[in-house]
Amino acid sequence: MSALDRHRRAALSVTALAGAAYGWWLTGLEPFAWPSTVAVSIPPVAMIVATARRDVRATPLRDWITDIVMTCRRATASTRTGERRRARAAVLWGIVIVSFAAVQLLAYFAGSSASRRDYPTLSWIVGHVDTRAGRTALFVAWLVFGGWLVRR
């Protein structure tokens, strides 16, 4: 293992420990109060500011939509089997994501806070993790996911 790898691994371990300690402290704060709101907002703000200077080359929305339309066409019209299969997988991703959002919205709007057992939403399901250690683990997972997102 090179010195750079060792440094990277050490930095990663320290960051993971700091994230877990921060999560442990945060999950003990009183809910619906400004300290918990501020504490949850600090990592996203820090991460977004730290990466905002990066030169991210964005695709124009019109090109992006054209890309999706072309993929849908390839999924049905392409004569090349491999290309058609890949396009179908991309379309399937779209269907799964839209369905997931639809089920969540349906449960949210059809139910109320009193009838969540009959209309469970994702946050109601996740809410069953009610131990501090479990919530800290969820917080670290949320942090890691956010870190991955801002590096895209």
List residues near other proteins by CB under 8 A: 26-32, 36-37, 39-41, 43-44, 48, 56, 58-61, 64, 86, 89-90, 92-93, 96-97, 99-100, 103, 106-107, 110, 117-120, 122-123, 125-127, 130-132, 134-135, 138-139, 142, 145-146, 148-150, 152
Q: How far apart are CA 61 and CA 12, in angstroms?
A: 35
Smallest gap, in angstroms, from Cβ of residue 7 to other proteins? Answer: 25
Do 104 and 116 touch, CB atoms closer than 8 A?
A: no
Query: Is the distance from CB of 137 to CB of 26 less than 8 angstroms?
Result: no
Q: How far is the CB of 9 from other proteins (least distance, A)?
A: 22
What distance lies between CA 115 and its chain's CA centroid?
Answer: 27
CB of 79 to other proteins, least distance (A): 20
Q: For residue 114, give the DSSP letter.
A: G
Per residue in 66-91, is it b (16+ CB within 10 Å) or e — as a string?
A: eeeeebeebbeebeeeeeeeebbeeb
Residue with smaller CB distance to other proteins, 16 or 106: 106
Minimum distance from residue 110 beta carbon to other proteins (Å): 8
